[in-house]
Amino acid sequence: MDAGPGGGREHPPSLPDRAHKISERLDGLILQEAARAGGKSPAYRELADRVNRIAGRSVISRDTIRNLHQATTQKGQSPNPTVETLDWLGLAFGIRCGATYFLDDAKAAVVDEQLLALDALANIRAAAGNAGVIGLAQRASGLSDNSLHMLAALADRLSALEAEAAGDGGGAPTGSPKKAAEKDR
């Protein structure tokens, strides 16, 4: 049975496409780690040392990690890592399904969602040390869903106002998109 265009068979991604997919996923993991570390990204050597320590042997070099992150080798070719290399690299970021994470979009989406949930839990844990946050949560516990949505919207608006006042410009523009565009001129 011939599977022409639309015939149901998927062709594996080309090596450059695969390299870019790995690069994007690795970049996301590095950025998440940097966000947790106050903006400091791990160095390629640091990542290679971590991978090799977890593996108990030398399985990757800083140059290989750099090549994977940049989706190209120093000779301008697309890197072609082994499944084992990707598995160990994933483990260095706490991901058990390393190669699958780097190569499979559906699995990556599930893992990324779990990583975001873990980050949210870490933020909640940090906020739990703040007595004001605990008191607010206790008072909000008896509110209706509608009131909770209003409280969340109020908290978002207050955060944006505080960011604006601090000069971060982190607040979302208020008003219509047209007014926001005029304000930027």
CB 16 within 8 A of CB 23: no
Fold of 15-120: 434 Repressor (Amino-terminal Domain) (1.10.260)
Which one has a higher pLDDT value, 98 or 126? Answer: 98
Banded pLDDT at 100 (limits 50, 70, 90): very high
Residue 4 above 50 pLDDT? no
Domain boundaries, the chain: 15-120, 131-167
Give the single-character DSSP code of 76.
Answer: S
Count other Cβ atoms within 10 Å, centred on residue 104.
14
pLDDT single digits (tens) 8-31 = 455 566 878 899 999 999 999 999
Give the model's pLDDT for residue 11. 57
Model confidence, pTM: 0.62
CA angle 31, 35, 41 (to 5 degrees): 55
**Candidate ranges 4-8, 14-18, 61-65; pick with highest mean pLDDT:** 61-65
Determine the Cα–Cα distance for residues 90 and 72; give it in Å rounded to an integer.
19
